[in-house]
Chain A
Amino acid sequence: MGYVIAAYAVTLGTAAVYLLRLARERRSLVRELGSESAREQPGSPAGASPS
């Protein structure tokens, strides 16, 4: 029984950790892209708004 639990725990745990890492990196990239695009149009009111 221990072997079975170990096999499933390793599989699900590793997949979950990988998924979380992907999600976290995505969030930080989206944030970076967002701030970049806000700075990108200097003429537009959105870009000029105080942040």
Chain B
Amino acid sequence: MNVALAILWKDLATEWRGRDRVVAMAVFSFLVVVVLHFALPARDAEEARRLAPGLLWVAYIFAAILGLNRAFALELENEALAGLALAPADRGWIFLGKAAASFVILGAVQAVTAVVFALAFDVDLAAIAPSLAIVVALGSLGICAVGTLLGAVSVRTRYREVMLPLLMLPLLVPVLLAAVDATAGLLETGTLRWRSVQLLLVTDAVFWIVSFTSFEYVLDE
């Protein structure tokens, strides 16, 4: 447990000092929002509301891939990954610490992106902010579980920046569809659609169990 907290604290402190990951992710997701706005211009408020959930989650997933690619790059550069694996602590705690740090960093980026998105697409996200935060958090939980496991894998392959999305995107389809559906429900009725939240919960549970139990296996001896 202490190991998880220590790694979480170390990652967040490093990030706070440099802020390079958050800044890169935020700028990138703003760019995605702007590009999407030009690629799929919404003619009226009705159309904007129809397009918004999908576009928002595309921006989130791209930002997440960017951030998760960096999550282990630092460890690889100063060979801390070997140190992490040698630590006597249970490697599951290392996973929890890394995933939690990615979750916090991604959450910060998502919050800022949501504001920019609401302005760019003229969608009122403020009214549904608390429920939207729950949906975004549930979606990010799944993304960070798979992303932390596969980030540790892809960082030690050739073409690692390409490998992570190739590995991750086909697995994230349930998260993406459920999150988009829940967000659309929020924009339409203002209430959470239980069916999609349920799928998010189940997907998160599956991804966390598999990733937590598999993580020790992907670190080198």
Touch test A–B (CB under 8 Å): no
